[in-house]
Chains A and B, each alone.
Chain A
Amino acid sequence: MDKHEVQIRVSNLNFFYGKTCALKNINMDIYKKKITAIIGPSGCGKSTLIRLFNRMNDLVLNSRVEGHIYIDGEDILSAKTDVVELRRKVGMVFQKPNPFPKSIYRNISYGLEVNNVKNKKYIEEKVIDSLKNSALWEEVKDRLNESALMLSGGQQQRLCIARCLAVEPEVILFDEPCASLDPISTRKIEELITELKKQYTIVIVTHNMQQAARVSDYTAFLYLGELVEYGTTEKLFTVPENPKTEEYLSGKFG
């Protein structure tokens, strides 16, 4: 499985909330332009893990991290890392759609504005591009100046994806992107994620095993903060090595 190029390398990673250890000695390689799913029961540390990839956990008080995460060879956990730069490179889509209470247009242009892009024409092209790439353009092209809060939940989530695409990330992290969506919206998002794989490295956290099986190339199974098994999705779902994985997949716990 290492015939692909590595984008993210996690090495001896531990993470603590106060004194509780939320992630224990995680080692894994995430490959370029592949979809990697992280599955596991609630509270197993999957969200904690991907929120480290763009240093979102910096916002959590009283937390501590040990070990290394290399993105394109650079240790992003080091104090020298430019977090703003990192977050532009590693985008994120959250569990609940969280558009700003601004217009559809401004929601997407926001990321460019805060990164000091001044060229109006470029911004406009980028907004349109991002909306097209997130399969939302047809639905909103006539009402870009309306509030984003007028959109349905599924549309809002695709808007959030567009917002993320606009700053041209290399990696996109999805933190249970369909957790609050209906089945039809979920399917649209899944199709979109599969489409995005051509250009981006994707890491998706989900507690929905079927979703992981449908969209991902690689799957990691996390349990109580430990990486129990990691491999191609096909192998993990058909012939899991670890008995714990098999138990989880067959619904014995979780």
Chain B
Amino acid sequence: MQKIKENIYRYIFAVLAFASIIFLVGITITLFKEGMPLFKEIPFKNFIFGRDWYPTYDPPDYGALPLISASVFVTLGALFVCIPLGIGSALYINEIAGYKQKSILKPLIEILAGIPSVVYGFFGMVIVAPFVQKIFNLPTGLTAFTGSLILGIMATPTVTSLTEDALSFVPNSFREASMAVGANRWQTLVKVVIPAAGSGISTAVILGISRAIGETMTVLMVTGGSAVIPKSFFQPVRPMTATIAAEMGETVVGSLHYHSLFAIGLILFVITLFFNIIAEFIISRYRLKLGAGR
């Protein structure tokens, strides 16, 4: 009797654990099934490198380059915000702050991760965009720059907490050894702690990127939505995620436009998958490397 009971529990949890795999496989299949038909009409190369995105014109243009380059622009810009902010605050929390500051700062930064993205978007639209417009004297404040700023802030908690984990993984004996030969705190940090945590920190950045590139609601609200290849940070753009969100409601199911949006989703999926695989790879190597030293 006891045994049957135990087996039942086992199966219940096994089903729960495998459920996520089923969802993953299901989503992947759907993306391919709905995205691939586009390439029967439009060659893959034309889709990726096409410079015009006019899906509702007659005849329509399905060139995704403006959308892809917008995503790249906004994500790169976000990196300039979340790398210094995220790594800087992690270094401060883990290496410099006293116990008291640490116990306040850490949970606060984690709260930042819990704010819904629509709130960030709202904040960006109402506060940041007019501000950007005024400072740089632009026709509109809804630009790639604004998107980068907000996305960067959104990705900061991810970068901070992962970097912080990597730093706390560096054994204290390294710090002591460095101090004991006459290194000061700064030298210890730059020459010993950061290199030892290096792969962990790069993982944090990569996961920050994949968080930023997949973010939808915020970019939809603050980047302005014009599908042209950006020439500067201070013009409106339309990243891939925003395009899908904005246009999916207006397409006819099974139309070419519909398939093209799935194709964009497919590209996004491949990009984030790629980043996550790199991050996994670095993590596994990193554990091995420090494992011998601990």
What is A's interface to B at a CB cutoff of 8 Å? 54, 56, 59, 61, 84-85, 87-88, 91-92, 94, 96, 98-102, 110-111, 113-115, 149-150, 160, 163-164, 166-167
Which residues of chain A come closer than 8 Å to B60, judged between CB atoms?
Answer: none
Measured CA separation A219–B279 after assembly (Å): 53
Question: From residue B202, how far is it (CB to closest CB) to chain A in Å?
Answer: 15
CA distance A199 to B56 in the complex (A): 86
Residue of B with least CB distance to A150: B292
Rounded to whole angstroms, the CA-CA distance of A87 and B184 in the bound complex is 10
Q: What are 12 residue pairs bridging A and B, where the CB atoms are less than 8 Å apart in the complex?
A: A84-B182, A94-B173, A98-B171, A99-B177, A100-B177, A100-B196, A101-B174, A111-B181, A114-B183, A149-B293, A166-B181, A167-B181
B176:A98 contact, CB within 8 angstroms: yes
Q: Does B289 contact A (CB under 8 A)?
A: yes
Q: How many residues of B contact A (CB 8 A)?
A: 24
Question: Closest 9 CB pairs between A and B?
Answer: A111-B181, A98-B173, A88-B182, A114-B183, A92-B180, A149-B292, A87-B182, A98-B177, A114-B187
Query: B249 on the interface (CB 8 Å rule)?
Result: no
Given contacts A61-B99, A101-B290, A149-B293, whether A114 and B176 have CB atoms under 8 Å apart is no
**Chain B min CB distance to A31 (Å):** 22
User: Interface code B236-272, partner A: CB below 8 Å = 1, 0 otherwise?
Assistant: 0000000000000000000000000000000000000
Collect the chain A residues with CB atoms within 8 Å of residue B290's CB.
Answer: 101
State the B residues within 8 Å of A (CB): 98-99, 171, 173-184, 187, 191-192, 195-196, 289-290, 292-293
Q: What chain A residues lie within 8 Å of B192 (beta carbons)?
A: 100, 110
- Could you say which residues of chain A place their CB within 8 Å of the CB of B183? 84, 110-111, 114
For residue B177, which residues in chain A have a CB less than 8 angstroms away from its CB?
A: 94, 98-100, 160, 163
Contacts A61-B99, A114-B187 given: A163-B181 contact, CB under 8 Å? yes
Is there an interface contact between A101 and B289, defined as CB atoms closer than 8 Å?
A: yes
A178 nearest CB across to chain B (Å):
16
Contacts A91-B181, A94-B173, A98-B171 supplied; 19 other A-B pairs, CB < 8 Å: A59-B176, A84-B182, A87-B182, A91-B180, A98-B177, A100-B196, A101-B289, A101-B290, A111-B182, A114-B182, A114-B183, A114-B187, A149-B293, A160-B177, A164-B180, A164-B181, A166-B181, A167-B181, A167-B182
One of A61, A101, A115 near B182 (C-beta < 8 A): A115
CA distance A79 to B197 in the complex (A): 33
In the bound complex, residues from chain B placing their C-beta under 8 Å from that of A92 are 180
Q: Are A101 and B179 closer than 8 Å at their CB atoms?
A: no
A175 to chain B, nearest CB (A): 10
The answer to whether A114 and B178 touch across the interface, beta carbons within 8 angstroms, is: yes
Q: Which residues of chain B are near A84, meaning CB under 8 Å?
A: 182-184
How far is B175's CA from A110's CA once the two chains are assembled, in angstroms? 13
Pairwise interchain contact A96-B173, C-beta atoms closer than 8 A:
yes
A90 to B173 CA separation, bound complex (whole angstroms): 17
Verify B171–A56 contact, CB threshold 8 A.
no
- The residue in chain A whose Cβ has the minimal distance to the Cβ of B180 is A92
Please give me the residue from chain B that is nearest to A148 by CB atom: B293
In the complex, chain A residues whose CB is within 8 Å of the CB of B187: 114
Q: How far is the CB of A57 from chain B (nearest CB, A)?
A: 11
CB within 8 Å for A88 and B181 given contacts A99-B293, A101-B289: yes
